[in-house]
Structure 1
Amino acid sequence: MDQFQDACKSKQMDVVKDIIANEGDKLPSKDIQFGFKWACLCGNKEMVEYLLENTNDKLTGADYEFGIWGACKNGFMDIVSLLFPKIDNPDKELRSLYSRACADNNLEMAKYLLSMMETNSIASYAFGVACTIGNTEIADYIEQNQSESRFYYRKGTDFCVVSNHELNYAEIGICRSFGNLTVYYNNREIVSDSIDAYQNYNFVKL
């Protein structure tokens, strides 16, 4: 039913509610799925919430993934937050979304996704991505949060993350232990400099 998809695309909430109320059981799944994707792409949170509540049985994991990617691409943080709990592999999806935000130079979305990265390993990956693709604005932002458990160091597109805790995620770099420190890096030549910088850094003691 093109009318339903068009209503979702053009944010006609009354029309969407009327169709679901009167023809919901007969409405093809593909129409609901396309309509849901349009609502996500357009940033219509009210409609996304309504469709989740009233047609969730016809939505699939692929629909959620498409929706969250579209919302991320277009900068709709509220919809990303709404859909994120429905993703099957949230850590993997978060890394992919963040990489996309970096590539698009979407600093605000990258900051938002960074706030969702709770573990040292994922945050280290985030810094590595920003450095590797040369997004200095995002790398600068990440470097503002230096700590003994996660110290960021870079030269050009080369990066190191030095930690006094274990860093066990190394999708785009290498993770190695150096004495009582763990370093995640993409160029062995700057590891020594990064450790020196870590040891000489004046960490704020809380």
Structure 2
Amino acid sequence: MNTERKYSDQELIQKILNKETALFELIIRRNNPYLYRIGKMYHFSHEDTQDLMQDSYVQAYTHLNQFENRSSLRTWLSKIMVHECYRKSKKWTAKNVESLENNPLLIQKTGKTDTSKKVMNTELNAVIEKSLLHIPEDYRTVFILREVNGFSVLETSEILDITESNVKVRLNRAKGFLRKEIENYYSKEEIFEFNLIYCDAMVDRVMAQISLT
């Protein structure tokens, strides 16, 4: 069995508390993607996000005996990261912000796609990422936690200390803001032209079939 998945979170915690400190590495590996996205949703650069992740993991390790298992370990760690980001964001200035173009927030799913589709996905992801950074923070954080990190409504409410109803309302508003932001990048004509990238593949398929008749 893969060592990284050999133990449940609760088993790992017990072992770490019993002085098997080296196993904390597994907790870090399991949660890096989630904490990284949280740092990015607060506009922090790649380097600053890594610093915040480190601080959060240290906080978690130091207070691991206080974890009560009322929520998942991922939720608990994410809440620590949110608090760290919020605290630092009040102190740091705009010079600490790095362009999201150099550090994509959304990770593309790769597979057997044609080159045209990859180009379209890359451009669309870039537009979505830029748009996300322009919507209000309260709504952006809920959107990233729910839609990108995959937290449930309950988990998101625990991380942000808001009600489940507020999570739902903020998510809906975030989607509304996002739609409006995306519209700022393309006119209707450009959006249709953007989607016509599929045409080349269809033409090739039809012409290839015609040549066989």
TM-score, normalized by the shorter chain, greater than 0.5: no
Greater percentage in helix: 2
TM-score of the two chains, using structure 2 as the length reference: 0.26
The structure with higher relative contact order (CA 8 Å, sep 6+) is: 2
